Amino acid sequence: MADASGFGLVQAVVLLGAAIVAVPLFRRLGLGSVLGYLAGGLTVGPFGFGLIDDPETLLHTAELGVVLFLFIIGLEMRPIKLWALRRQIFGLGAAQVVTCGGLLTLVALMAGVSLPVATVGAMGFVLSSTAVIMQLLEEQGDTATPEGQRAVAILLLEDLAIVPLLALVALWGALDSPADVDAPSVWQGIAIAVAGLAVLLVAGRWLLDPFFRLIARAGAREVLTAAALLVVLGSAVFMQSVGFSMAMGAFLAGVLLSESNFRHQLEADIEPFRGILLGLFFLSVGMSLNLRIVADEWRLVLGGVVTFMAVKAVGIYVIARLARADHAAAAHRTALFAQGGEFAFVLYAAATAVGIFDARASAIMSAIVILSMALTPIVLLAQTRLRRSATVSLDGIDEANGLRGRVLFIGFGRFAQVASQALLARRVELSLIENDVDMIRAAANFGVKVHYGDGTRLDVLRASGADTAEAILVCVDKPEAADRIAELCRSAFPMAKLYVRAFDRGHSLRLNKAGVQFEIRETFESALVFSHAVLSDLGLDEAQANEIIDDVRERDKKRVELELIGGLEAGRKLIRGNGETSEPVPLFEKH
C-alpha cells in the first residue's frame, strides 16, 4: 500500500510511531520536542533502521508545516504591530545577518575555500531555523514577550534575505557558465518579485475578507477549512513563483488576515494541520542526516559545526549588546540563533544546481546545518540552567514539577498570602509557585510549601498543574507579568477559571477585555473598609456607612462598564471631586 514515491500506510504508521515514542521521551528528559522529532527521524530513516528510505520526498511535503506555522505567526502580527517592529526587522535583523555572514565567510576563506563557496556556505548557515526557534519559543511561552518579538523580527529579516541570496547564487552561476539567452536578468527577477508582492498585498487588502464572508454563508465548516488552506498554500506557492520563499508568502497571508473577522476561526482550522506537518518536517530533517558523510568526514563536519556555531554566537552576542540588550537577554538570543536552518537546504541546492557546490560540499554543509539544528535545544537548555544557577540559588527549594492542586496560585506575596487563608481553612488542595526565592524561604518558616517557578512560562505552568487546576489565581506584583500569564492561561487552559489581581484601573480594564473570570484591584476593597471605619468614627451609624460604601462600589462598577467601551475618560462623570463641580446623583435612593 505504497505509492510511486515509496510512501503508504506502513510508512505513515512508522512516522507516527517514531513521533509518539521519541517526543514524549525527550520532553520528559527536558530536551524538548524538536530534538525528539530529529532523533525519531534519524532512527527510522535510511541511516538508522532504514524503515523509510526516501526522506527527500517527505521533506518537501513536510515543509508545508513551516508554511502553516508562519501563517499562524502572521495572524498574530497585525500590520500596526509589524510596523512597530520595523526598526528591529531592518535594523537589528539586518545587523545580525550581515555581521554573522561576514564573520563566517572570513572563517571559510581562512579554511582555503573559494569566495563563492565560502559566501554561500556561510550565508546559508546564517539563516537560522524559523521552525526550531518558533517551536522552542512556543514551548517556553516566550513568543509574545519583548525578547520573543525581537526573535520574530530577526527571523522575518532572514526570510527576506533568502531572495537576494538566491539572486547572488544565480549571478555567480551565470558568470561561471555560458549565458542562457532565455534566462531572465537579475533586475527582471527583482521587478517580478516586487510586482508579485504588490499583487498579494492588494488581493489581501480588498479580496480576502469578502471571499471568506461568501464561503461562510454556505454554512459548511469543512469548506471554510478548505478555503483557509487554499489561501495559505496558494499565497505560499504564488510568492515562491515570483522569487520569495513559501514561508514568506504564508506569513504575509496571515498578516493580511490578522484584522479579519474570521481570524480566530482560521487559526482554529489551521492549527491541527500545522502541528502534524511541522512534526513531519523535523522527522524528515532527522532522516536527512547522512551518517556516512559524517563518519567519512567527521573531523571536517564536527569542526565545522563547532566553529560555525561559535563564530555565529560571537556575532549575535556582540550585536545584541550593541543594541543595548543585557547579558541574560543577549546570551539567550545567542543560544537560540546559533544554528543553521531549513533555508540553508534551499540555498545549497541552488548552489549545487549552478555548479558552485559539488555533491560532497553540499552533503558536508547540509550535515553541519542539521547537526547544529539538533544541538540547539541542548545548547538552549544548558544556557537556561547556567543562567538560573548563576542568578538564583535554589538550595533547599523545590522547583515546580508534577503539581496537581485543585487551585494554582501564581505569586505568593502579601496579597496571595491573605487570599490563601480562606481556601486553606476549607482544606482546598493548593499548588503555590513563586519566582522570589526569599519569599519562598520566608513562607517555609510559617509552614507553607511554595515551589519555585516562573508563571510567565508555558512549560512551568504545565509543570505546576495548570492543565488540571479548577482555578488559577494570578497574584503577581507586575501588571505586565499578570497580563502575560492571563494570556497564556486563557489560550492554553481554557477550562480553568482565571482570577487575577489587578494593579490599577487601567490594568483592570485590560484584564476585563482579556476575558478573565474575576479581577480585583489590589487596594480597592481594603480602601473601602478603611473609609467605612472613618465614616463610623465620624458619627454615622452602621446603616448609613454601609449605604455610602455600597454607592461607591456600585458607582465604580458603572465606571468600569463605561470605560470598557469608551476608555478611561468615559466614566469621568461618576467621579466625586472636591472642586467646584456639581455633585453626581447618588446611584442609590435614600430611605
How large is the angle between the packed helices 146-175 and 130-140, nearest 10 degrees? Answer: 170
For the residues 394-401, what does the mean pLDDT come to?
A: 82
User: Residue 397: which of 379, 380, 384, 412 has the closest Cα?
Assistant: 412
- The string of DSSP letters for 466-503 reads TTT-SEEEE--S-HHHHHHHHHHHHHH-TTSEEEEEES
At residue 163, the pLDDT reads 65
E strand or H helix at 519: strand 518-521
Strands 497-502 and 451-452: unpaired
Which of 253-267, 375-389, 422-436 has the largest mean confidence? Answer: 422-436
The conformation of residue 91, written as its DSSP 8-state character, comes to: I
For the residues 171-195, what does the mean pLDDT come to?
A: 67
Whether 407 contacts 469, CB under 8 Å: yes
The count of other CB atoms within 10 Å of the CB of residue 517 is: 12
At residue 276, the pLDDT reads 78
For the residues 226-232, what does the mean pLDDT come to?
A: 81
**Which residues make Cβ contacts (< 8 Å) with residue 363, sequence separation at least 6?**
290, 293
At residue 152, the pLDDT reads 83
How many angstroms separate the CA atoms of 359 and 23, rounded?
32
At residue 429, the pLDDT reads 93
Which three cell numbers, joined as nine digits, stand for 557? Answer: 462598577
Which three cell numbers, joined as nine digits, stand for 473? Answer: 489565581
How many angstroms separate the CA atoms of 148 and 458, rounded?
13
pLDDT for 275 beyond 90: no
Query: Contacts by 295-299 with C-beta closer than 8 Å and gap 24+?
Result: 297/364, 297/367
| Type of residue at 168 | L
pLDDT confidence band for 112 (50 / 70 / 90): confident
The conformation of residue 93, written as its DSSP 8-state character, comes to: I
How many H-runs (helices) and E-runs (strands) does the chain carry? Answer: 26, 6
Whether 519 contacts 498, CB under 8 Å: no
Name the percent of the chain in helix, strand, coil, to the closest 5.
Answer: 70, 5, 25
The conformation of residue 78, written as its DSSP 8-state character, comes to: -
Which three cell numbers, joined as nine digits, stand for 287? Answer: 532522516
Sign of CA dihedral 519, 522, 527, 532: positive
CA 254 to chain centroid: 15
Whether 136 contacts 318, CB under 8 Å: no
For the residues 60-73, what does the mean pLDDT come to?
A: 71
pLDDT confidence band for 386 (50 / 70 / 90): confident
How many angstroms separate the CA atoms of 321 and 454, rounded?
25
Q: What's the pTM value of the predicted model, to 2 decimals?
A: 0.59
For the residues 363-369, what does the mean pLDDT come to?
A: 87
| Mean pLDDT, rounded, of the chain | 81
**Strand, helix or coil for residue 451:** strand
Q: How far is CA 459 from CA 91, 134, 374, 463, in A?
A: 31, 15, 20, 6
Sign of CA dihedral 121, 125, 130, 132: positive
Whether 500 contacts 507, CB under 8 Å: no
For the residues 496-515, what does the mean pLDDT come to?
A: 86
38-56 pLDDT per residue, tens = 888 888 888 788 888 777 6
How large is the angle between the packed helices 359-391 and 130-140, nearest 10 degrees? Answer: 20
Q: How far is CA 269 from CA 174, 226, 229, 350, in A?
A: 44, 9, 9, 34
Which three cell numbers, joined as nine digits, stand for 101? Answer: 555572514
How many angstroms separate the CA atoms of 440 and 108, rounded?
51
How many angstroms separate the CA atoms of 503 and 584, rounded?
26
At residue 1, the pLDDT reads 46
pLDDT confidence band for 218 (50 / 70 / 90): confident
User: Residue 126: which of 351, 356, 369 has the closest Cα?
Assistant: 369
How many angstroms separate the CA atoms of 370 and 37, rounded?
13
Phi, psi for residue 448 in degrees, rounded to 5 = -110, 125
User: Residue 373: which of 27, 131, 15, 123 has the closest Cα?
Assistant: 131
Which of 132-136, 166-170, 386-390 has the largest mean confidence? Answer: 132-136
According to DSSP, the residues that pair with 519 across neighbouring strands are 500
449-485 pLDDT per residue, tens = 999 999 988 889 999 999 999 999 999 988 888 988 9
- Between these two residues, 50 and 65, which has the higher pLDDT value? 50
Whether 141 contacts 457, CB under 8 Å: yes
**Which residues make Cβ contacts (< 8 Å) with residue 305, sequence separation at least 6?**
368, 371, 372, 375
Whether 125 contacts 308, CB under 8 Å: yes
pLDDT for 121 beyond 80: yes
Which three cell numbers, joined as nine digits, stand for 102? Answer: 561576514
Q: Which strand ranges, in their side-by-side order, compose the sheet holding 407-410?
A: 451-452, 430-434, 407-410, 471-474, 497-502, 518-521
**Strand, helix or coil for residue 453:** coil
At residue 174, the pLDDT reads 67
Which three cell numbers, joined as nine digits, stand for 443? Answer: 513562607
User: Residue 532: which of 560, 555, 507, 553 has the closest Cα?
Assistant: 553
According to DSSP, the residues that pair with 434 across neighbouring strands are 452
**Strand, helix or coil for residue 520:** strand
